A and B are shown apart, each in its own frame.
Chain A
Amino acid sequence: MHKISVSGFRTVKRIAIKLIILMFITSLTVSSYLLVINGSGADLEIKPLYGQAPVIDGEIDTSENEWNKAIKEHLNLYPNESAPENPLLVDLWVMQNGSNLYISIQFSFLHNSFEFVGLLISSNQSENPEDFTDAKIVRFSNISTNEYTYKDYYLNNSIYEEDTNSNGSGAGKIEGEDVIYEFVLPVEYNESDPEDVFLEYGTDEESGHIFKIIMGDSTDPPSYPEDIRISNNVLIKITYNPLPTELTQEELLILIFSIIIFGTSGMLYVFYIYRIVKLKERIERIRT
Protein backbone atom coordinates (compact mmCIF):
# COMPACT_ATOMS: atom_id res chain seq x y z
CA MET A 1 0.00 0.00 0.00
CA HIS A 2 2.78 2.30 0.98
CA LYS A 3 4.75 1.51 -2.22
CA ILE A 4 1.73 2.21 -4.43
CA SER A 5 1.12 5.62 -2.89
CA VAL A 6 4.79 6.59 -3.30
CA SER A 7 4.85 5.61 -6.98
CA GLY A 8 1.52 7.37 -7.48
CA PHE A 9 2.95 10.52 -5.94
CA ARG A 10 6.00 10.25 -8.23
CA THR A 11 3.77 9.94 -11.30
CA VAL A 12 1.79 13.02 -10.29
CA LYS A 13 5.04 14.86 -9.62
CA ARG A 14 6.40 13.90 -13.06
CA ILE A 15 3.19 15.08 -14.76
CA ALA A 16 3.30 18.34 -12.77
CA ILE A 17 6.92 18.98 -13.83
CA LYS A 18 6.02 18.28 -17.47
CA LEU A 19 3.05 20.64 -17.23
CA ILE A 20 5.17 23.41 -15.70
CA ILE A 21 7.84 23.00 -18.41
CA LEU A 22 5.15 23.06 -21.12
CA MET A 23 3.56 26.16 -19.56
CA PHE A 24 6.85 28.05 -19.58
CA ILE A 25 7.75 27.06 -23.11
CA THR A 26 4.35 28.48 -24.15
CA SER A 27 4.98 31.60 -22.05
CA LEU A 28 8.40 32.12 -23.65
CA THR A 29 6.90 31.78 -27.12
CA VAL A 30 4.18 34.33 -26.36
CA SER A 31 6.61 36.75 -24.71
CA SER A 32 9.01 36.60 -27.67
CA TYR A 33 6.06 37.57 -29.88
CA LEU A 34 5.32 40.52 -27.61
CA LEU A 35 8.93 41.69 -27.65
CA VAL A 36 8.73 42.92 -31.26
CA ILE A 37 8.25 46.67 -30.93
CA ASN A 38 10.31 48.37 -33.60
CA GLY A 39 8.19 49.14 -36.60
CA SER A 40 9.21 49.61 -40.16
CA GLY A 41 7.02 51.04 -42.86
CA ALA A 42 3.29 50.62 -42.58
CA ASP A 43 3.96 47.41 -40.68
CA LEU A 44 3.58 49.73 -37.73
CA GLU A 45 -0.06 50.19 -36.83
CA ILE A 46 -1.22 52.46 -34.05
CA LYS A 47 -4.64 52.73 -32.47
CA PRO A 48 -4.37 55.87 -30.36
CA LEU A 49 -5.87 55.89 -26.89
CA TYR A 50 -7.81 58.67 -25.23
CA GLY A 51 -5.97 61.07 -23.00
CA GLN A 52 -5.86 64.64 -21.80
CA ALA A 53 -5.01 67.08 -24.58
CA PRO A 54 -1.35 68.19 -24.37
CA VAL A 55 -0.24 71.78 -24.99
CA ILE A 56 1.35 71.98 -28.44
CA ASP A 57 4.49 73.92 -27.60
CA GLY A 58 7.35 71.51 -28.30
CA GLU A 59 7.65 70.66 -24.62
CA ILE A 60 6.46 67.67 -22.61
CA ASP A 61 5.28 68.76 -19.19
CA THR A 62 5.56 65.63 -17.05
CA SER A 63 4.16 67.44 -13.99
CA GLU A 64 0.89 67.76 -15.95
CA ASN A 65 1.14 64.11 -17.15
CA GLU A 66 1.21 65.32 -20.74
CA TRP A 67 1.25 62.53 -23.32
CA ASN A 68 1.06 59.86 -20.57
CA LYS A 69 -1.76 58.08 -22.41
CA ALA A 70 0.06 58.20 -25.75
CA ILE A 71 1.00 55.04 -27.59
CA LYS A 72 4.79 55.18 -27.69
CA GLU A 73 6.61 53.45 -30.53
CA HIS A 74 9.96 53.57 -32.29
CA LEU A 75 10.11 54.15 -36.01
CA ASN A 76 13.04 54.13 -38.41
CA LEU A 77 13.10 56.87 -41.04
CA TYR A 78 15.01 55.95 -44.21
CA PRO A 79 16.52 57.98 -47.06
CA ASN A 80 14.99 55.44 -49.40
CA GLU A 81 12.02 53.49 -48.06
CA SER A 82 12.29 50.79 -50.72
CA ALA A 83 15.93 50.14 -49.70
CA PRO A 84 15.84 50.61 -45.92
CA GLU A 85 19.40 51.58 -44.99
CA ASN A 86 21.01 54.26 -42.78
CA PRO A 87 17.95 54.78 -40.60
CA LEU A 88 17.27 57.52 -38.10
CA LEU A 89 15.40 56.09 -35.13
CA VAL A 90 12.67 58.39 -33.88
CA ASP A 91 10.22 58.12 -30.99
CA LEU A 92 6.66 58.35 -32.22
CA TRP A 93 3.90 59.19 -29.74
CA VAL A 94 0.26 59.16 -30.79
CA MET A 95 -2.90 59.88 -28.80
CA GLN A 96 -6.35 61.42 -29.21
CA ASN A 97 -8.92 63.17 -27.04
CA GLY A 98 -12.15 62.59 -28.93
CA SER A 99 -11.89 65.64 -31.16
CA ASN A 100 -8.20 65.83 -32.10
CA LEU A 101 -5.35 63.52 -33.01
CA TYR A 102 -2.02 64.31 -31.36
CA ILE A 103 1.34 63.19 -32.76
CA SER A 104 4.79 63.83 -31.32
CA ILE A 105 8.08 62.96 -33.01
CA GLN A 106 11.30 63.05 -31.03
CA PHE A 107 14.89 62.25 -31.87
CA SER A 108 18.51 63.22 -31.30
CA PHE A 109 20.48 64.58 -34.20
CA LEU A 110 22.91 67.30 -35.26
CA HIS A 111 20.33 69.86 -36.33
CA ASN A 112 20.37 71.96 -39.46
CA SER A 113 19.32 75.60 -39.68
CA PHE A 114 16.09 75.02 -41.59
CA GLU A 115 15.29 71.56 -40.30
CA PHE A 116 11.70 70.41 -40.64
CA VAL A 117 9.49 67.48 -39.74
CA GLY A 118 6.14 66.88 -41.33
CA LEU A 119 3.22 64.55 -41.74
CA LEU A 120 1.95 63.57 -45.17
CA ILE A 121 -1.55 62.14 -44.81
CA SER A 122 -3.11 59.60 -47.12
CA SER A 123 -6.86 59.66 -47.60
CA ASN A 124 -7.02 55.95 -46.79
CA GLN A 125 -4.66 52.99 -46.17
CA SER A 126 -3.00 53.46 -49.55
CA GLU A 127 0.74 54.19 -49.71
CA ASN A 128 0.59 55.40 -53.32
CA PRO A 129 2.23 58.85 -53.63
CA GLU A 130 -0.87 60.34 -55.28
CA ASP A 131 -3.01 59.38 -52.26
CA PHE A 132 -0.99 61.62 -49.95
CA THR A 133 -2.92 64.83 -50.48
CA ASP A 134 -2.39 66.65 -47.19
CA ALA A 135 0.78 67.81 -45.44
CA LYS A 136 1.42 69.46 -42.08
CA ILE A 137 4.98 70.70 -41.62
CA VAL A 138 6.86 72.35 -38.76
CA ARG A 139 9.98 74.04 -40.07
CA PHE A 140 12.63 75.85 -38.06
CA SER A 141 13.72 79.23 -39.36
CA ASN A 142 16.29 79.77 -36.59
CA ILE A 143 17.35 76.82 -34.47
CA SER A 144 19.35 78.89 -31.97
CA THR A 145 16.25 80.87 -30.94
CA ASN A 146 13.81 77.98 -31.57
CA GLU A 147 11.84 79.98 -34.14
CA TYR A 148 9.59 77.86 -36.29
CA THR A 149 6.58 78.01 -38.55
CA TYR A 150 3.70 75.58 -38.96
CA LYS A 151 2.27 75.23 -42.45
CA ASP A 152 -0.69 73.27 -43.77
CA TYR A 153 -0.28 72.20 -47.40
CA TYR A 154 -2.47 70.66 -50.05
CA LEU A 155 -0.62 68.25 -52.36
CA ASN A 156 -1.71 68.62 -55.94
CA ASN A 157 0.16 65.99 -58.00
CA SER A 158 3.06 66.17 -55.54
CA ILE A 159 3.12 69.98 -55.76
CA TYR A 160 2.86 71.57 -52.32
CA GLU A 161 0.29 74.36 -52.24
CA GLU A 162 -0.44 76.21 -49.03
CA ASP A 163 -3.99 75.75 -47.72
CA THR A 164 -6.37 78.69 -47.86
CA ASN A 165 -7.51 77.77 -44.34
CA SER A 166 -4.78 76.27 -42.21
CA ASN A 167 -6.05 73.49 -39.94
CA GLY A 168 -4.39 71.95 -36.94
CA SER A 169 -1.19 73.26 -35.45
CA GLY A 170 2.36 72.20 -34.75
CA ALA A 171 5.38 73.16 -32.69
CA GLY A 172 9.01 72.23 -32.30
CA LYS A 173 11.74 72.75 -29.74
CA ILE A 174 15.43 71.96 -29.99
CA GLU A 175 17.58 71.48 -26.88
CA GLY A 176 21.13 70.49 -27.74
CA GLU A 177 20.84 67.46 -29.96
CA ASP A 178 17.32 66.61 -28.79
CA VAL A 179 14.26 67.83 -30.57
CA ILE A 180 10.55 67.48 -29.90
CA TYR A 181 7.97 68.09 -32.61
CA GLU A 182 4.29 68.14 -31.73
CA PHE A 183 1.24 68.17 -34.00
CA VAL A 184 -2.49 68.38 -33.44
CA LEU A 185 -4.97 67.49 -36.20
CA PRO A 186 -8.75 67.82 -35.96
CA VAL A 187 -10.71 64.58 -36.39
CA GLU A 188 -13.99 64.45 -38.36
CA TYR A 189 -13.79 68.16 -39.00
CA ASN A 190 -15.16 69.90 -42.12
CA GLU A 191 -15.67 67.03 -44.58
CA SER A 192 -16.27 69.47 -47.41
CA ASP A 193 -12.77 71.00 -47.20
CA PRO A 194 -10.99 69.73 -50.32
CA GLU A 195 -7.58 70.88 -49.07
CA ASP A 196 -7.46 68.56 -46.06
CA VAL A 197 -7.78 64.82 -45.65
CA PHE A 198 -10.94 64.12 -43.68
CA LEU A 199 -9.70 62.11 -40.71
CA GLU A 200 -12.50 59.87 -39.56
CA TYR A 201 -13.21 57.33 -36.89
CA GLY A 202 -13.35 53.74 -38.01
CA THR A 203 -13.90 50.35 -36.54
CA ASP A 204 -13.24 47.92 -39.39
CA GLU A 205 -9.95 46.69 -40.84
CA GLU A 206 -10.28 48.99 -43.86
CA SER A 207 -10.43 52.18 -41.79
CA GLY A 208 -7.41 54.27 -40.90
CA HIS A 209 -4.95 56.53 -42.65
CA ILE A 210 -1.35 56.11 -43.68
CA PHE A 211 0.83 58.88 -42.25
CA LYS A 212 4.20 59.42 -43.87
CA ILE A 213 6.60 60.94 -41.34
CA ILE A 214 9.06 63.13 -43.23
CA MET A 215 12.19 64.91 -42.08
CA GLY A 216 14.65 67.10 -43.91
CA ASP A 217 16.64 70.31 -44.04
CA SER A 218 15.21 72.85 -46.39
CA THR A 219 16.47 75.72 -48.39
CA ASP A 220 15.01 79.15 -47.68
CA PRO A 221 12.31 79.37 -48.99
CA PRO A 222 11.59 75.65 -48.68
CA SER A 223 11.13 73.45 -51.68
CA TYR A 224 9.05 70.32 -51.14
CA PRO A 225 9.39 67.43 -51.83
CA GLU A 226 13.03 68.02 -52.93
CA ASP A 227 14.11 68.92 -49.38
CA ILE A 228 12.76 65.72 -47.82
CA ARG A 229 15.72 63.60 -46.70
CA ILE A 230 14.19 60.68 -44.81
CA SER A 231 10.72 59.23 -44.34
CA ASN A 232 8.62 56.24 -43.35
CA ASN A 233 4.98 55.24 -43.13
CA VAL A 234 2.78 54.41 -40.20
CA LEU A 235 -0.85 53.34 -40.19
CA ILE A 236 -2.97 55.20 -37.66
CA LYS A 237 -6.46 53.89 -36.95
CA ILE A 238 -8.54 56.39 -35.05
CA THR A 239 -11.31 54.56 -33.26
CA TYR A 240 -14.20 56.17 -31.48
CA ASN A 241 -13.93 55.11 -27.90
CA PRO A 242 -15.82 56.97 -25.22
CA LEU A 243 -14.02 55.15 -22.41
CA PRO A 244 -10.65 56.90 -21.93
CA THR A 245 -9.09 54.15 -19.86
CA GLU A 246 -10.37 51.13 -21.78
CA LEU A 247 -7.58 48.65 -22.47
CA THR A 248 -6.61 47.69 -25.98
CA GLN A 249 -6.52 44.01 -26.92
CA GLU A 250 -2.71 44.01 -26.77
CA GLU A 251 -2.67 45.74 -23.37
CA LEU A 252 -5.20 43.26 -22.04
CA LEU A 253 -3.08 40.36 -23.30
CA ILE A 254 0.03 41.83 -21.66
CA LEU A 255 -1.88 42.38 -18.39
CA ILE A 256 -3.20 38.79 -18.33
CA PHE A 257 0.26 37.46 -19.14
CA SER A 258 1.81 39.61 -16.37
CA ILE A 259 -0.73 38.30 -13.86
CA ILE A 260 0.02 34.69 -14.92
CA ILE A 261 3.80 35.18 -14.61
CA PHE A 262 3.85 37.10 -11.34
CA GLY A 263 0.94 35.09 -9.94
CA THR A 264 2.73 31.78 -10.64
CA SER A 265 5.97 33.12 -9.16
CA GLY A 266 4.08 34.42 -6.11
CA MET A 267 2.28 31.14 -5.54
CA LEU A 268 5.52 29.15 -5.84
CA TYR A 269 7.16 31.60 -3.42
CA VAL A 270 4.36 31.10 -0.86
CA PHE A 271 4.53 27.32 -1.36
CA TYR A 272 8.30 27.44 -0.78
CA ILE A 273 7.80 29.37 2.51
CA TYR A 274 5.30 26.70 3.55
CA ARG A 275 7.94 24.03 2.82
CA ILE A 276 10.49 25.98 4.92
CA VAL A 277 8.07 26.08 7.87
CA LYS A 278 7.43 22.33 7.48
CA LEU A 279 11.18 21.72 7.35
CA LYS A 280 11.65 23.56 10.64
CA GLU A 281 8.98 21.38 12.23
CA ARG A 282 10.67 18.24 10.86
CA ILE A 283 14.10 19.28 12.17
CA GLU A 284 12.65 19.93 15.64
CA ARG A 285 10.86 16.57 15.57
CA ILE A 286 14.09 14.74 14.67
CA ARG A 287 16.01 16.53 17.43
CA THR A 288 13.46 15.66 20.11
Chain B
Amino acid sequence: MPKFKKEKKRDNRSNKKAFNEEFAYKTVIKSVIFAGFFFTLSILFNMEIITFFVNLGELWFIIDIIIKLVAILLFFFFMVISIGNYKELTGRPLDFKLILLMFVLSLLQAFRDPIVFTFTFFGLAIIIIYMFFVQES
Protein backbone atom coordinates (compact mmCIF):
# COMPACT_ATOMS: atom_id res chain seq x y z
CA MET B 1 0.00 0.00 0.00
CA PRO B 2 2.62 2.62 0.87
CA LYS B 3 4.58 1.67 -2.26
CA PHE B 4 1.55 2.37 -4.43
CA LYS B 5 1.10 5.81 -2.79
CA LYS B 6 4.72 6.76 -3.51
CA GLU B 7 4.35 5.88 -7.21
CA LYS B 8 1.19 7.97 -7.44
CA LYS B 9 3.06 10.92 -5.91
CA ARG B 10 5.90 10.42 -8.38
CA ASP B 11 3.36 10.29 -11.25
CA ASN B 12 1.78 13.54 -10.08
CA ARG B 13 5.22 15.18 -9.90
CA SER B 14 6.20 14.02 -13.40
CA ASN B 15 2.82 15.10 -14.79
CA LYS B 16 3.29 18.51 -13.22
CA LYS B 17 6.80 18.74 -14.65
CA ALA B 18 5.52 17.77 -18.11
CA PHE B 19 2.77 20.34 -17.79
CA ASN B 20 5.30 23.05 -16.83
CA GLU B 21 7.54 22.09 -19.72
CA GLU B 22 4.59 22.21 -22.09
CA PHE B 23 3.60 25.63 -20.76
CA ALA B 24 7.17 26.96 -20.99
CA TYR B 25 7.51 25.61 -24.53
CA LYS B 26 4.24 27.24 -25.58
CA THR B 27 5.50 30.54 -24.11
CA VAL B 28 8.73 30.19 -26.11
CA ILE B 29 6.70 29.72 -29.31
CA LYS B 30 4.20 32.53 -28.60
CA SER B 31 6.95 34.98 -27.65
CA VAL B 32 9.03 34.19 -30.72
CA ILE B 33 5.96 34.69 -32.97
CA PHE B 34 5.30 38.09 -31.40
CA ALA B 35 9.00 38.94 -31.71
CA GLY B 36 8.86 37.93 -35.39
CA PHE B 37 5.88 40.19 -35.97
CA PHE B 38 7.61 43.19 -34.41
CA PHE B 39 10.84 42.37 -36.24
CA THR B 40 8.93 42.48 -39.57
CA LEU B 41 7.40 45.80 -38.51
CA SER B 42 10.86 47.05 -37.63
CA ILE B 43 12.25 46.00 -41.03
CA LEU B 44 9.42 47.84 -42.81
CA PHE B 45 9.79 51.08 -40.87
CA ASN B 46 13.41 51.19 -39.70
CA MET B 47 14.77 50.07 -43.08
CA GLU B 48 12.53 52.81 -44.47
CA ILE B 49 10.69 50.52 -46.87
CA ILE B 50 7.49 52.23 -45.67
CA THR B 51 8.01 55.99 -45.75
CA PHE B 52 4.53 57.38 -46.35
CA PHE B 53 4.57 59.20 -42.99
CA VAL B 54 7.39 61.45 -44.19
CA ASN B 55 6.38 64.99 -45.21
CA LEU B 56 2.88 64.69 -43.71
CA GLY B 57 3.56 67.05 -40.83
CA GLU B 58 4.78 66.96 -37.28
CA LEU B 59 2.13 64.60 -35.90
CA TRP B 60 2.86 61.90 -38.49
CA PHE B 61 6.56 62.41 -37.94
CA ILE B 62 6.05 61.62 -34.23
CA ILE B 63 3.81 58.62 -35.06
CA ASP B 64 6.53 57.31 -37.40
CA ILE B 65 9.12 57.58 -34.61
CA ILE B 66 6.79 55.86 -32.10
CA ILE B 67 6.13 52.94 -34.50
CA LYS B 68 9.87 52.49 -35.14
CA LEU B 69 10.65 52.67 -31.43
CA VAL B 70 7.84 50.37 -30.25
CA ALA B 71 8.68 47.77 -32.94
CA ILE B 72 12.29 47.51 -31.76
CA LEU B 73 11.51 47.56 -28.03
CA LEU B 74 8.80 44.89 -28.29
CA PHE B 75 11.01 42.76 -30.54
CA PHE B 76 13.69 42.86 -27.85
CA PHE B 77 11.17 42.28 -25.05
CA PHE B 78 9.58 39.18 -26.61
CA MET B 79 12.89 37.78 -27.80
CA VAL B 80 14.36 38.01 -24.29
CA ILE B 81 11.24 36.32 -22.83
CA SER B 82 11.42 33.58 -25.46
CA ILE B 83 15.16 32.98 -25.07
CA GLY B 84 14.80 33.07 -21.27
CA ASN B 85 12.16 30.35 -21.35
CA TYR B 86 14.13 28.39 -23.92
CA LYS B 87 17.16 28.48 -21.65
CA GLU B 88 15.03 27.38 -18.71
CA LEU B 89 13.83 24.37 -20.71
CA THR B 90 17.41 23.43 -21.53
CA GLY B 91 18.35 23.88 -17.87
CA ARG B 92 20.80 26.71 -18.42
CA PRO B 93 20.59 30.31 -17.25
CA LEU B 94 20.13 33.24 -19.64
CA ASP B 95 23.65 34.65 -19.67
CA PHE B 96 24.79 38.23 -20.04
CA LYS B 97 26.39 37.65 -23.46
CA LEU B 98 23.05 36.74 -25.03
CA ILE B 99 21.32 39.79 -23.54
CA LEU B 100 24.17 41.96 -24.83
CA LEU B 101 23.85 40.41 -28.29
CA MET B 102 20.10 41.06 -28.32
CA PHE B 103 20.70 44.61 -27.05
CA VAL B 104 23.18 45.37 -29.84
CA LEU B 105 21.05 43.71 -32.54
CA SER B 106 18.00 45.69 -31.44
CA LEU B 107 19.86 48.98 -31.08
CA LEU B 108 21.48 48.70 -34.50
CA GLN B 109 18.04 48.46 -36.10
CA ALA B 110 17.60 52.14 -35.23
CA PHE B 111 20.86 53.37 -36.75
CA ARG B 112 19.18 55.33 -39.56
CA ASP B 113 17.40 57.74 -37.25
CA PRO B 114 19.28 59.44 -34.39
CA ILE B 115 16.07 60.24 -32.48
CA VAL B 116 14.88 56.62 -32.64
CA PHE B 117 18.41 55.46 -31.81
CA THR B 118 18.56 57.59 -28.64
CA PHE B 119 15.10 56.59 -27.40
CA THR B 120 15.76 52.93 -28.24
CA PHE B 121 18.97 52.99 -26.24
CA PHE B 122 17.19 54.26 -23.14
CA GLY B 123 14.13 52.04 -23.77
CA LEU B 124 16.26 48.91 -23.98
CA ALA B 125 18.15 49.89 -20.84
CA ILE B 126 14.83 50.36 -18.99
CA ILE B 127 13.56 46.94 -20.18
CA ILE B 128 16.78 45.24 -19.00
CA ILE B 129 16.56 46.97 -15.59
CA TYR B 130 12.85 46.05 -15.36
CA MET B 131 13.56 42.41 -16.19
CA PHE B 132 16.42 42.30 -13.73
CA PHE B 133 14.16 43.47 -10.89
CA VAL B 134 11.31 41.16 -11.93
CA GLN B 135 13.79 38.29 -11.87
CA GLU B 136 15.09 39.34 -8.45
CA SER B 137 11.62 39.56 -6.92
Chain A residues within CB distance 8 Å of chain B: 17, 20, 24, 27-28, 31, 34-35, 37, 60, 62, 66-68, 254, 257-258, 261-262, 264-266, 268-269, 272-273, 275-276, 279-280, 283, 287
Contacts and interface: CB of A to CB of B under 8 A. Distances in A.
Contacts of A269: 32, 35-36, 39
A37 B108 contact: no
B25 interface: yes
A66 B39 CA distance: 31
Contacts of B108: 24, 27-28, 31, 261
A283 B89 contact: yes
Please report whether the interface of chain A is mostly helix, strand, loop or mixed according to DSSP: helix
B137 interface: no
Contact of B47 (A37, A258, A287): A258
9 contacts: A28-B108, A62-B55, A68-B54, A258-B47, A272-B86, A276-B32, A279-B86, A280-B25, A283-B21
B117 A35 contact: yes
Contacts, number: 69
Nearest to A283: B21
Nearest to B97: A17
Contacts of A287: 18
Contacts of B39: 265-266, 269
Contacts of B25: 279-280, 283
Main secondary structure of the interface of B (DSSP, over half): helix
Given A28-B104, A262-B47, A287-B18, A272 B90 contact: no
Nearest to A68: B55
Nearest to A277: B29
A31 B108 CA distance: 8
A275 B56 contact: no
B36 to A, nearest CB: 7
Contacts of B117: 31, 35
B111 A262 contact: no
Nearest to A265: B105
Contacts of A257: 111
